[in-house]
Amino acid sequence: MRIGLRIFLGYFVIVALAALLLAQVFVREVKPGVRQAMEDSLVDTANLLAELAADDLAAGRIGSGRFAAGVHALGEREIGAEVWGFRKRSATYRIYVTDADGIVVFDSEGRDVGADYSRWNDVYLTLRGRYGARSTRDDPQDDSSSVMHVAAPVMDGQRIAGVLTVAKPNRTIAPFIARSEAIVTRWGLVLMGAALLVGVLAAWWLARQLGGLRRYADAVTAGRRAALPDSAGEFADLGRALQTMRERLEGKQYVERYVHALTHELKSPLTAIRGAAELLEAPPGGRPLPDEDRARFAASIAAQAGRMAQTIDRLLGLAAVEHRQRIEHPQPVDPVALLDEAWEQVEARAQERGLRLAREADAAVGTVRGDPFLLRQLLVNLLDNAIDFAPAGSAIETTVHGGGDRLRIAIADRGPGVPDYARDRVFERFYSLPRPQGGDRSSGIGLAFVAEVAQLHGGSARLDNRDGGGAVATVELPAARGA
């Protein structure tokens, strides 16, 4: 499982548990909270009515006095109030009064006058000077039928003459509770959705940062060119640490590899130079060498020394390219003009063999962005390779085509072509083919340089056989935008 998915799942579990816990707490607290608020208002109402009923209870006219008339009038009143979006048409109170023995002497609904309520908590506790309240279901099987009763003492001086109870069905506050629960649930879901969105973005960001570093490490492990990905915070520090470690390790391995390669390539010319020098210094039989042989051995020494110098120069050029990860300051380059400049560098050598340049280019080729020097050296190496294999007096054919987002440069000759066994190895470092007419092999670095420069510019290089004989080297490069 990917780390981004693991992070998201862990975050999702935490958010889900937190949301569930909060939802349970809020929802469970809504109903008690509303009921507590209602009980508080009932306490005030009961005490107010107890004061108003005191005179009628003391005078023995609680069922027919002004208090009873006022309560009955309240029951018939059309209220028509708008309470937070809910319309209230009539009062929903039940009011009853008991005497000092707990016997009901007044009931606003007229149903339990004369009943003994002395054992109900509201009456029982109030008669003993304590706060009396109870919640009782009209239907024992239906929780919504619960009715809250809040009592207050009816005083006669310092004596408790009776108890007034205000009862209100809990279902009257059910719409408020349901609406509050719905609002809490809705906003809880919104909060959870927002938290999950934040979690998705955070997990994506973390996965992107780690994924970029992982791909960078994989590319480095595979020996490919790779630029350090853009990162932030600790990931940027980690990326820089990886890059520093890579540069130091690659630098050490690079030196070791090139010292080995240079030693291998210089061994053959050094052996030839040493052999020629020994013959010049002490010829066989002790007789002086003829001038012709001395000149031949001296020429051999000069040729091998030149070969060593060329090998070192080209190896240093290849090393400079292989060690670069990107073009620091790319410039727009005209490939046709660059091809002309490259031909000028090899033209003298081509004329020695009677070779000529045949060029074909699209009317609007466009440009590429890159390092002009490296691209020119790429073309010089391809032209040198074509000159080595082209038959004397033939033409080296070059074409430059642009189309879409790619630009293609091809350099072709009519030489012997590329053997099948060598087609997959021609771009390897130090791999070279024998030249026609017994010419010396090259250093085997030129085409490796071509491949590295093309890759550095985001392109590719290949060498194929062409119809009618000969080989064609093709380099594809990204065309500059807007070209």
The confidence score (pLDDT) of residue 348 equals: 83
Of 415, 412, 449, the C-alpha closest to 430 is 449
User: What sign for the dihedral angle of Cα 320, 322, 327, 332?
Assistant: positive
Domain boundaries, the chain: 34-178, 225-325, 327-483
The confidence score (pLDDT) of residue 187 equals: 79
The one-letter amino acid code at 262 reads: L
Distance of alpha carbon 33 from alpha carbon 58, whole angstroms: 37
Distance of alpha carbon 390 from alpha carbon 422, whole angstroms: 18
Per-10-residue mean pLDDT of the chain, 483 residues long, equals: 67 75 70 82 94 93 92 83 76 91 93 93 94 88 86 93 93 79 79 79 78 75 66 70 65 51 58 69 64 72 66 58 63 88 85 87 82 84 87 90 85 89 79 66 72 84 89 89 55
Token pair of 387, please?
């000159």
Token pair of 445, please?
């670095």
Stated pTM of the model = 0.45
The confidence score (pLDDT) of residue 483 equals: 47
Q: Which CATH number, 3.30.360.10, 3.40.50.1100, 3.30.565.10, 3.40.50.300, labels domain 327-483?
A: 3.30.565.10
Report whether 66 contacts 56 (CB < 8 A): yes
Q: Which CATH architecture fits 34-178? A: 2-Layer Sandwich (3.30)
| Runs of H (alpha helix) within 323-443 | 335-352, 372-389
Identical fold for domains 34-178 and 327-483, yes or no, is: no
Distance of alpha carbon 230 from alpha carbon 240, whole angstroms: 10
The confidence score (pLDDT) of residue 237 equals: 72
Find residue 98's DSSP bridge partners.
Answer: 104, 163
The one-letter amino acid code at 261 reads: A
The confidence score (pLDDT) of residue 124 equals: 95
Of 345, 332, 350, 422, the C-alpha closest to 376 is 345
The confidence score (pLDDT) of residue 467 equals: 87
- For 337-371, write each residue's pLDDT tens digit: 888 888 888 888 888 888 988 888 887 778 888 88
Query: Which element (helix H / strand E) includes 162?
Result: strand 159-169
Ramachandran assignment for 298, one of left (phi > 0), alpha (psi -120 to 50 degrees), beta (any other): alpha
The confidence score (pLDDT) of residue 260 equals: 52
Task: Please state at what angle helix 335-352 crosses helix 372-389, rounded to 10 degrees.
Answer: 30
Token pair of 132, please?
């009396």
Which residues, other chains included, contact 66 with Cβ-Cβ below 8 Å and sequence gap of 6+?
56
The residue whose two tokens read 């619960």 is 146
DSSP state of 434: P
Q: Which CATH class is domain 225-325?
A: mainly alpha
